[in-house]
């Protein structure tokens, strides 16, 4: 139980899009569960690190979440599972927190396939730009971590769009639409 009597720390293993595996506490409301927390409308989850610090992490970068208690029970029953758990824990200990490899894939950043056409790329950019634009979120009282994440994500999708549309003739707005 966390210091706050209205919250629980649920130990979990997270696998992130970049391949990192983290062993953290998923911080949920009292009576909460992993599945309810991950399936609610919030875009972020609160996690607790081993040093006791708390931070928000975007649900969109989590590819897998496992209950650490259930995994430990399984590892006690199976030597193979114990080895996998130990390897995952060792990988987590080696991985430096907050460091993301500098591999940039503009298609992945926008969530489109490499075969996507100009319209699909533009639509993906517009949708994400509206969701993460710091100017649109400025009036909302968000934690600094969330604001920083949104600003970084906006820069990333802007860079991806610029990369994918580089050298293309810009599409001019329809004058009929501009008049209305």
CATH of the domain at 154: 1.10.287
How far from each other are the two terminal CA atoms of the chain, in whole angstroms?
57
Q: Give the contacts of 80 (CB within 8 A, at least 6 positions apart).
A: none
**Same domain (yes/no): 11, 81:** yes
**Same domain (yes/no): 83, 111:** no
- Identify the pLDDT of residue 125: 92
Mean residue pLDDT of the chain comes to 74
pTM of the model as a whole: 0.43
Structural domain includes residue 160:
yes
| Cα(68)–Cα(14) distance, integer angstroms | 9
Low-confidence winner among 101-105, 116-120, 141-145, 155-159 (lowest mean pLDDT): 101-105
pLDDT digits (tens, 9 = 90+) for 22-32: 899 988 877 77
Cβ count near 69 (within 10 Å): 11
pLDDT digits (tens, 9 = 90+) for 128-149: 888 888 888 888 887 777 888 8
Higher pLDDT residue, 174 or 85? 174
**Same domain (yes/no): 87, 14:** yes
Q: Give the contacts of 31 (CB within 8 A, at least 6 positions apart).
A: 8
| Cα(152)–Cα(132) distance, integer angstroms | 9
**Same domain (yes/no): 81, 137:** no
Would you say 34 and 12 are in contact if contact means Cβ atoms under 8 Å apart? yes
Within 13 A of 125's CA, how many CA atoms are on the CB side?
20
Structural domain includes residue 177:
no
**Same domain (yes/no): 88, 115:** no
Boundary of a domain, candidates 94, 115, 148: 94
Low-confidence winner among 60-69, 91-100, 133-142, 160-169 (lowest mean pLDDT): 91-100
| Cα(80)–Cα(150) distance, integer angstroms | 40
pLDDT at residue 76 greater than cutoff 60: no
CATH of the domain at 48: 2.30.30.100
Structural domain of residue 67, as residue ranges?
A: 7-94
**Same domain (yes/no): 69, 116:** no
**Same domain (yes/no): 88, 52:** yes
Boundary of a domain, candidates 94, 118, 139: 94
According to DSSP, residue 130 is labeled H
Give, in order, the Cα–Cα distances in Å from 60 to each of 16, 18, 37.
Answer: 9, 12, 13
Higher pLDDT residue, 167 or 24? 24
Number of domains in the chain: 2
Q: Which of 47, 67, 63, 65 is nearest to 55 (CA)?
A: 47
- Identify the pLDDT of residue 166: 83
3 state DSSP class of 28: strand
- Identify the pLDDT of residue 176: 55
pLDDT at residue 123 greater than cutoff 90: yes
Residue 39 structure tokens: 């399936």
- Identify the pLDDT of residue 71: 60
**Same domain (yes/no): 150, 116:** yes
């Amino acid at each position: 139980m966390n210091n706050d009597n209205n919250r629980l720390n649920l130990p979990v293993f997270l696998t992130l899009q970049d391949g990192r595996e983290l062993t953290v506490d998923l911080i949920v409301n009292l009576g909460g569960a992993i599945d309810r927390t991950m399936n609610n409308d919030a875009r972020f989850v609160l996690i607790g690190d081993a040093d006791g610090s708390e931070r928000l992490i975007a649900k969109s970068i989590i590819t897998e979440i496992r209950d650490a208690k259930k995994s430990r029970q399984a590892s006690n029953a199976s030597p193979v599972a114990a080895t996998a758990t130990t390897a995952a824990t060792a990988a987590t200990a080696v991985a430096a927190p907050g460091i993301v490899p500098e591999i940039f894939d503009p298609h992945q950043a926008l969530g489109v396939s490499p075969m996507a056409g100009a319209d699909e790329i533009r639509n993906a950019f517009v949708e994400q730009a509206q969701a993460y634009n710091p100017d649109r979120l400025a009036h909302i009282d968000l934690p600094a971590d969330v604001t920083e994440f949104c600003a970084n994500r906006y820069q990333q999708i802007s860079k991806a769009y610029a990369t994918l549309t580089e050298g293309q003739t810009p599409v001019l707005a329809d004058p009929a639409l501009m008049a209305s």
